[in-house]
């Protein structure tokens, strides 16, 4: 059986899936990310592929293709990554694709993790909604766009980078140099600053739990964050108008209460603004099932597509 591997290498953890020809998941692994410099990231990817292949009962070299999603600016054509700050990769392009190909002998595609997650979300939603934005809310905030079935990277690879759109010019300072960016209002670190959790505990879950228990400060903060996320949904709908807007990333691991709060905020806007009512924003907000791995899935789908098109040519 021909298997394709997809890796989602995050700042702290790595998810991997091996999928078969029909898109069925044959094996998965999950573990901590080892990083610090480009060579360590490449070695970590190769080791992860070894574990994944073992779980699927094959040798690494038997994989048909490998897709690797990771945060940073990715040049997919060259297989290079830069500015993956959480992994120890700086502005110097790291040739991750070539390194993994050399070590494994398997054709390897490197993609931005949020772009991969958007493609994965299409797959995980059954492939029927091939027009969506995947809004990743974690350490960083950015969207991946699949428009009419095509991944939109943009002329400078920046499509969907709405984390640095200013929502409130009088808002808090963002490390980027602006004030009131979406990212500085809703990211995991932004929530942690205002509602600190015990070391390592998931900050959004901590906040949602406190709000559910009736803590008024937590309820107010949750409503405020949901309002900013509603602004992000509105922004995506007015700018690119995708059929669905999927909320994902670490912050959404807090579960249904966060997405429900975003929908409530959108419903309130629709009551006040007829234009927004026509856009049915609340109905378009979707979350993936618990345990879904859109980044790894999408990386595998993209690797599979690239491999198929090359196989067709040769």
Binding interface with a second copy (CB under 8 A): 131, 145, 147-148, 150, 152-162, 164-170, 176-178, 231, 234-243, 272-276, 278-280
- Closest contact distance (angstroms) between CB of 12 and a second copy is 23
Q: Where would I find the H helices in the chain?
A: 38-56, 96-104, 113-124, 182-186, 188-194, 203-212, 216-239, 256-272, 274-278, 281-284, 294-313
Distance of CA 193 to the CA centre of its chain: 22
Nearer to a second copy, 52 or 125 (CB): 125
Nearer to a second copy, 40 or 178 (CB): 178
- Closest contact distance (angstroms) between CB of 14 and a second copy is 26
Nearer to a second copy, 19 or 279 (CB): 279
Nearer to a second copy, 219 or 235 (CB): 235
Structural element, H or E, at residue 66: strand 65-70
- Closest contact distance (angstroms) between CB of 164 and a second copy is 6
- Closest contact distance (angstroms) between CB of 69 and a second copy is 19
Q: Are 143 and 160 in contact (CB under 8 A)?
A: yes
Token match 């990769």: residue? 89
- Closest contact distance (angstroms) between CB of 233 and a second copy is 12
Could you give the CA distance from residue 296 to residue 250 in angstroms, rounded to a whole number?
Answer: 15
Q: Which two tokens stand for residue 33?
A: 């990310």
Bridge partners, residue 32, by sequence? 13
Q: Are 195 and 203 in contact (CB under 8 A)?
A: yes
Q: Which two tokens stand for residue 306?
A: 């690239």
Nearer to a second copy, 92 or 314 (CB): 92
- Closest contact distance (angstroms) between CB of 82 and a second copy is 11
Q: Which two tokens stand for residue 5?
A: 């591997």
**Sign of CA pseudo-dihedral 191, 9, 304, 90:** positive
Nearer to a second copy, 98 or 164 (CB): 164
Task: Kindly list the distances between the CA atom of residue 111 and the CA atoms of 24, 181, 215, 236, 299, in Å, as whole numbers in the listed order.
Answer: 21, 25, 41, 22, 7
- Closest contact distance (angstroms) between CB of 117 and a second copy is 17
Nearer to a second copy, 6 or 144 (CB): 144
């Amino acid at each position: 059986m021909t298997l394709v591997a997809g890796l989602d290498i995050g700042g702290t953890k790595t998810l991997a899936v091996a999928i078969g020809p029909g898109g069925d998941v044959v094996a998965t692994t999950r573990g901590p990310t080892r990083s610090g410099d480009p060579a360590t990231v490449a070695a970590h990817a190769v080791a992860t592929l070894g574990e994944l292949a073992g779980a699927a009962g094959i040798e690494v070299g038997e994989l048909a293709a490998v897709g690797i999603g990771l945060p940073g600016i990715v040049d997919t054509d060259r297989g290079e990554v830069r500015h993956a700050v959480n992994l120890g990769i700086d502005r110097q392009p790291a040739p991750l694709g070539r390194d993994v190909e050399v070590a494994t002998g398997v054709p390897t595609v490197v993609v931005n993790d949020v772009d991969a997650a958007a493609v994965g979300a299409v797959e995980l939603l059954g492939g029927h909604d091939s027009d969506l934005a995947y809004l990743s809310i974690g350490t960083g905030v950015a969207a991946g766009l699949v428009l009419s079935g095509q991944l939109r990277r943009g002329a400078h690879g920046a499509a969907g980078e709405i984390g640095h759109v200013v929502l409130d010019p009088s808002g808090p300072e963002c490390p980027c140099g602006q004030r009131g960016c979406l990212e500085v209002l809703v990211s995991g670190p932004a929530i942690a600053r205002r509602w600190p959790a015990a070391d390592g505990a998931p900050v959004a879950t901590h906040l949602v739990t406190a709000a559910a228990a009736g803590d008024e400060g937590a309820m107010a903060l949750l409503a405020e964050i949901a309002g900013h996320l509603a602004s992000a949904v509105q922004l995506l709908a007015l700018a690119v108008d995708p059929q669905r807007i999927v909320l994902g990333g670490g912050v959404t691991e807090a579960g249904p209460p966060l997405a429900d709060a975003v929908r409530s905020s959108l419903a309130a806007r629709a009551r006040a603004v007829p234009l927004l009512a026509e856009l049915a924003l609340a109905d378009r907000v979707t979350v993936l099932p618990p345990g879904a791995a859109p980044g790894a899935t999408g990386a595998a789908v993209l690797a599979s597509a690239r491999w198929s098109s090359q196989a067709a040519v040769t």
